[in-house]
Amino acid sequence: MGNLLEALGVNFKMVLIQAVGFLFLLLLLRKFLFGKIKDMIKARSDEIKDTYKRSEDERSESERLKEEYQRKVIKAEEEAEGKIQAAVVKAKEISDGIIKDANQVAADNKARAQQGIEVERKKALAEVRNQVVDLTILSSSRLIQQTMHRETAEKLVDDVIKGVGKLS
């Protein structure tokens, strides 16, 4: 085998020195460099894990806040609906009260108008009676002046009075 290595141009002594140098370099790198690299990789890994954990915590917190917000929105909508319904009921009560008051005022006005009409009708009727009486007296006096017979005058006055009685 030694001839084979020499035929290939491999110097066994040189390979042994390079192997020892490589092992020595590997030990030096392991002692000084690989420990620091390992610590840096571990620190970075821990940082990534912390970041992932924080993002998961923030995501779950945001989900909780979202659900809480949705509950509050639903509750606010329900309260608003209740207030709207209460306002509608109150407005209905107020409008019913206003309509009732207006109807009462209209009925009162109508009653006063009816009373006024009745008073005016009675006044007009009394005025007509007074005028009929005045006309009757006037006509009676004229008839008497014309020397009519008393019986004819009385009959004429009675007829006028009966006619006035039918008017009332």
Give Cα separations from 39 to 7, 27, 35, 42, 52 (angstroms). Answer: 47, 17, 6, 5, 20
pLDDT at residue number 73: 96
pLDDT at residue number 14: 87
User: What are the backbone angles phi and psi of residue 21, rounded to the nearest 5°?
Assistant: -65, -40
Terminal Cα-to-Cα distance of the chain (whole angstroms) = 164
Range of the domain at 83: 2-167
- 3-class SS of residue 43: helix
pLDDT at residue number 114: 93
Total domains, the chain = 1
Give the pLDDT of the chain (168 residues) as one tens digit per residue.
667 767 777 777 888 999 999 999 999 888 888 888 888 999 999 999 999 999 999 999 999 999 999 999 999 999 999 999 999 999 999 999 999 999 999 999 999 999 999 999 999 888 888 887 788 787 777 766 665 566 776 777 777 777 766 655
**Tokens matching residue 135:** 């006309």
pLDDT at residue number 36: 86
Q: How far apart are CA 49 and CA 29, in angstroms?
A: 28
pLDDT at residue number 129: 83
pLDDT at residue number 115: 93
pLDDT at residue number 34: 83
> Considering only CA atoms, which of 67, 115, 10 is closest in space to residue 75?
67
Give the chain's length: 168
